Amino acid sequence: MQTFGLIGKKLTHSFSKRYFTEKFKKENIQNAIYELFELPTIADLPALIKNQPHLKGLNVTIPYKLEVLPFLDNIDVAAQKIGAVNVIKINDNRTLTGYNSDYYGFKESLLTFLHHSNRLPISSMSEKMKSLKALILGTGGASKAVRVALEDLEIPYLSVSRTITKETANANNHILTYEQLDENILKSHQLVINTTPLGMYPQIEACPEIPYQFLTSEHYLYDLVYNPESTLFMQNGAGKGAKVINGLQMLYLQAEKSWEIWNQ
Ligand code: NAP
């Protein structure tokens, strides 16, 4: 039997457990189980690895995505750049390698979104991407994976935050407040990515405060929020003719990436 699981402090409802339990059933993977491991502190991780000899892989959730770093033997390049790990592979010699699957989920889903929106072959995508600039709304955990993915895709971006502190200014080369967003910025930044939790169920009447009146059919709105399927941010964009996508595909892709990492 191979064990996979999720570590976090309080694990009430878990997308990952549901996803992998259904996957194992659907794909007739009989020798695998996915369990929840609540750790009061991340210092309990080495004991978990020792006591669970069949453990092959872990997902990591709040509040341990950063705290877990010192407990790992190796960290994948993208995860290092992001500074956060949400997947751990337990190698045959019981060493631990950390990855960030949000990075892969976002990057792959963005490419598919642009590909489908433009009806362009993948081979012409780099040309299209060269013409794109992005706005990243929010400067939290998920925004870091988005930033590194955009850097790797060579899409220039500006971050947008409610407040600019010394810390966020240092971490984000180019940062604006929502009040600074005007017609020129919206015109020159056609990819707008919501990494804030605004609009997520049950607060479905909320959306980031950007000047939606300047959006056009040339814009692409990517919402990391996946519940509801159509957020107010997406509806506002679609109303102006923009192409829109929610965070569901990213969510599934990041889960599948975990599986690929654990089995590679
Ligand atoms: P987080 O660390 O709490 O960061 C969210 C950021 O949003 C904050 O740092 C803040 O940035 C901004 N923000 C928070 N509350 C706000 C408000 N009331 N008004 C305006 N801005 C606000 O959260 P996260 O872990 O990055 O997750 C963000 C969202 O992405 C969540 O909804 C999460 O479910 C979703 N997500 C989806 C996927 C997926 O696979 N689809 C993966 C990861 C996360 P400023 O202080 O700079 O304004």
Which ligand 1 atom sits closest to the C-alpha of 251? 40
Which ligand 1 atom sits closest to the C-alpha of 178? 48
Which residues does the annotation mark as catalytic? 65
Residue 29 CB neighbour total at 10 angstroms: 13
Tens-place pLDDT, residues 129-144: 778 999 999 998 899 9
196 and 208 Cβ atoms separated by less than 8 Å: yes
The Cβ-side half-sphere exposure at 224, using a 13 Å CA radius, reads 24
- In the chain, the amino acid numbered 85 is V
Q: What is the pLDDT of residue 130?
A: 73
Starting at the earlier edge strand, list the strands of the sheet with 157-161: 175-177, 157-161, 134-137, 191-194, 220-223, 243-245
CA of 125 to the centre of ligand 1 (A): 28
**Average pLDDT of the chain?**
94
Closest residue by Cα to atom 47, ligand 1, is: 161
Closest residue by Cα to atom 22, ligand 1, is: 196
Q: What is the pLDDT of residue 89?
A: 98
Give the pocket of ligand 1 (CB within 6 Å): 102, 105, 138-143, 161-162, 195-198, 200, 224-226, 247, 250-251, 254
Distances (CA, A) of 165 to 86, 173, 175, 235: 26, 12, 10, 31
Asked if residue 63 has a cis previous peptide bond (ω within 30° of 0), the answer is yes
The Cβ-side half-sphere exposure at 63, using a 13 Å CA radius, reads 4
Angle between helices 248-263 and 101-118 (to 10 degrees): 130
CA of 138 to the centre of ligand 1 (A): 6
What percent of the chain shows pLDDT beyond 70? 95
Strands (E), the chain: 2-8, 32-38, 55-60, 74-75, 87-90, 96-99, 134-137, 157-161, 175-177, 191-194, 220-223, 243-245
- β partners of residue 158: 135
Per-residue pLDDT, averaged over 115-126, amounts to 73
- β partners of residue 37: 7
Which ligand 1 atom sits closest to the C-alpha of 62? 25
pLDDT > 90? residue 167: no
pLDDT > 90? residue 124: no
Q: What is the pLDDT of residue 173?
A: 67
Per-residue pLDDT, averaged over 196-200, amounts to 96
117 and 237 Cβ atoms separated by less than 8 Å: no
pLDDT > 70? residue 70: yes
Q: What is the pLDDT of residue 228?
A: 97
**Residue of 196, 198, 210, 224 with the most ligand 1 atoms within 8 Å of its CB, for mutation:** 196
Which ligand 1 atom sits closest to the C-alpha of 226? 41
Closest residue by Cα to atom 13, ligand 1, is: 196
User: Maximum distance among all alpha carbons in the chain?
Assistant: 58
Q: What is the rounded distance in angstroms from the CA atom of residue 136 to the CA atom of residue 126?
A: 20
